[in-house]
Amino acid sequence: MLIDCDIHVGYDTLADLLPYLDAPTRELVVNSGTNGLAMPSYPWNHPTGWLRHDVYERSAAHDANFVYVSLDTLRERHLDTYDITLGIVEPDEAAAFSIIPNAQLAARLCSAYNDWLLERWLQEERRLRGMIVVPAQNPQAAAREIRRVGALEEFAGIFLPGGARIPYGNPVYDPLWEAANELGLPVAVHTHFETVGIAPPLTAAGMPDYYVEYHTLCGAGMYGHFVSILCHGIFERFPDTRVAMVEGGLVPFVGFLWRLDTNWRACRSEIPWCKRRPSEYVWEHVRFATQPLESPDDPGQLLAAIEFLRPWDTLMYASDFPHWDFDEPEQTLRQLPADWRDNVRWRNAHEFFRLPAPAVV
């Protein structure tokens, strides 16, 4: 078995969502601005393109940061090629719905996207499970959306982008966490749209100048959400909550956990609801995705650096297909000890997402 916990799909244009929108929102999508509603996007471009050149045509009819990849292409170039048993689908441009200023519009776009994803992808390809896109800047609406579609077997969890107005542990998000806990759905916090829209700058030092800087630093938002979730006692108040940190790397989490455990001992009166060391909550509630797996010249350095994360129990394979930094399954797994590989290949994700029992193991 092989479970890929990070496959990206998206609409060709926002107009693809028109059949799933109410009349006023359709009018906004068609007539806003000069050429219709557009989502905010990154101030940098990857120097050779965001997506793998072998999975899309450069002659696309429109200019877009995230070029459409069809379901047939996904099947042919990824699911079939690598014999993917189950793939967890994350959004591309739709992740931007959480960082637009108009929170009511964001909620309507999220619902339309989830309905489109269900009909056009998840019901058409049983090897896929979707992550529910929610308006994080509107937690009450996010909770309604989770309850609206969260019981459907086609959805495996909830997606939150790294770009956000406020770190995700803050009590303003309690309605969202309550709904996730109620339905037993995991939440994936995924690097996406930091610095864009209502999200603050990527770092306290300000905005990077180059894409290479951004791509090196984009995990910064992930680490802020990670520490916030732990310090606000999310796992004490919502004990069935599970969180995956996706596309934030691995090594930095080790240092942050060491520092947080130390600071918790010294400052525990400030956060009395955290009854145990922060790392103890991680082993029970948090999982990490392999992509991007840090690649030092000496592979042994990586294993020594991440051993504290208990990767045999906490690490899940992720390809990031079809993005430019896609990680091929066997190449990723070869970097890990043999006795970790089956857990990383499928068991950890299978347990984390509470997927149906496999027919064949």
pLDDT > 80? residue 107? yes
Residues whose CB falls within 8 Å of the CB of residue 100, separated by 6 or more in sequence, listed in order: 39, 40, 106, 137, 197, 198
**Whole-number average pLDDT of the chain:** 94
Confidence of residue 59 (pLDDT cuts 50, 70, 90): very low
User: Which pLDDT tens digit goes with each residue over 180-239?
Assistant: 999 999 999 999 999 999 999 989 899 999 999 999 998 899 999 999 999 999 999 999
pLDDT for position 45: 87
pLDDT for position 74: 96
Q: What is the mean pLDDT of residues 284-310?
A: 95
> Given the structure tokens 């068609």, which residue do they identify?
30
Residue with the larger pLDDT of the pair 11 and 58? 11
pTM of model > 0.85: yes
Residue with the larger pLDDT of the pair 52 and 331? 331
pLDDT for position 361: 39
Among 231-235, 266-270, 353-357, name the one with the lowest average pLDDT.
Answer: 353-357
Rounded CA-CA distance 160/146 in Å is 12
CATH superfamily of 3-352: Metal-dependent hydrolases (3.20.20.140)
